[in-house]
């Protein structure tokens, strides 16, 4: 089904680079997810200005899902015929595998107000929602039960506390204060960045940012690229 991904890659001649996504989220962009290309479009909330033109970056931890993620990336290219929400529904119809998914719940942890459910994100992406990434809750994703927060077990162990914090803050603001997703996500991202900073991480503009004298190319090649 996803063999066409390789054809797309040949046609577009984009250079694929595997990167340390965890380090990018700790030092540059908490919204770097699984796979992104260059973008500075004003209409896109999460532009990836730091990715060189002609390149596509994929978090190396998800390298085994490359063909599927590439197909999703190509399908989700904006067009004038469909809204983003329409595209999301279409990509599920076009790329998700048919039938009942294999068991994907790996463990559960009870909390006072909700349950943390650790899931095999690869199965969730391929059978339920191609854009499931790291964590999610029912106030954004209708397929998740109301009192659950799902976390992708493929996420690096030391990153899970930040993802959980993000989902908790976002969920609470949407549930208790009625904020829409975009606003709740902004607040949650700020809380997440502060938590990452508290264990010694930094972002451009911080007083302790160590790479201020390096060029973009030097930072990228030295700090972020895992496999060209």
**What is the pLDDT, as a whole number, of residue 42?**
73
Give dist(CA 197, CA 48) in Å, integer.
21
Q: What is the pLDDT of residue 80?
A: 79
pLDDT class of 10 with cuts at 50, 70, 90: very low
- Tell me: pLDDT of 1 over 80: no
Do the bridges between strand 15-19 and strand 55-59 make them parallel or antiparallel, or are there none, so unpaired?
parallel
Q: Is the pLDDT of residue 130 over 80?
A: yes
Tell me if residue 45 falls in helix, strand or coil. Answer: coil
Q: Which of 5-9, 31-35, 115-119, 182-186 has the lowest mean pLDDT?
A: 5-9
What confidence tens digit (pLDDT) does each residue in 133-145 have?
999 999 999 999 9
Percent of the chain clearing pLDDT 90 (strictly above): 81
Residue 41's pLDDT band (cuts 50, 70, 90): confident
Which is nearest to 163 in space by CA: 150, 144, 176? Answer: 150
Question: What is the residue range of 119's domain?
Answer: 4-227
pTM of the predicted protein model:
0.89
pLDDT band at 115 (very low <50, low <70, confident <90, very high): very high
- What is the tally of structural domains in the chain? 1
Q: Is 223 helix (H, G, I), strand (E, B) or coil?
A: helix
Q: Is the pLDDT of residue 150 over 80?
A: yes
Q: Tell me: pLDDT of 4 over 60.
A: no
Whole-number pLDDT of residue 45? 60
Model confidence band, residue 78 (pLDDT cutoffs 50, 70, 90): confident
* Pair 53, 93: CB distance under 8 Å: no
Would you state the pLDDT for residue 13?
67
- Kindly state the average pLDDT of the residues 189-213: 97
Going by pLDDT thresholds of 50, 70 and 90, the confidence category of residue 70 is very high
CA pair distance 66, 125, nearest whole angstrom: 12
Mean pLDDT for 209-216 is 96
For residue 72, the model assigns a pLDDT of 94
**Average pLDDT of the residues of the chain:** 91
Average pLDDT (79-103) is 90
């Amino acid at each position: 089904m996803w063999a066409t991904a390789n054809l797309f890659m040949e046609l577009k001649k984009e250079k694929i680079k595997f990167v340390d996504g965890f380090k990018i989220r700790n030092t540059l962009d908490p919204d770097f997810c699984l796979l992104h290309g260059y973008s500075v479009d004003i209409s896109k909330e999460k532009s990836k200005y730091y990715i060189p033109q002609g390149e596509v970056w994929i978090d190396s931890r998800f390298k085994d899902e490359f063909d599927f993620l590439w197909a999703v990336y190509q399908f989700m290219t904006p067009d004038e015929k469909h809204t983003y929400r329409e595209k999301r529904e279409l990509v599920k119809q076009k790329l998700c595998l048919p039938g009942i998914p294999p068991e994907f719940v790996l463990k559960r942890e009870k909390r006072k107000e909700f349950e943390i459910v650790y899931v095999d994100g690869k199965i969730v992406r391929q059978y339920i929602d191609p854009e499931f990434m790291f964590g999610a809750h029912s106030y954004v994703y209708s397929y998740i039960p109301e009192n659950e927060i799902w976390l992708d077990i493929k996420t690096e162990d030391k990153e899970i506390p930040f993802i959980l914090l993000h989902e908790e803050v976002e969920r609470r603001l949407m549930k208790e204060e009625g904020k829409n997703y975009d606003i709740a996500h902004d607040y949650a991202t700020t809380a997440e960045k502060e938590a990452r900073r508290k264990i010694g991480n930094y972002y451009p503009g911080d007083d302790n940012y160590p790479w201020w004298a390096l060029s973009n190319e030097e930072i990228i090649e030295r700090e972020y690229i895992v496999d060209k």
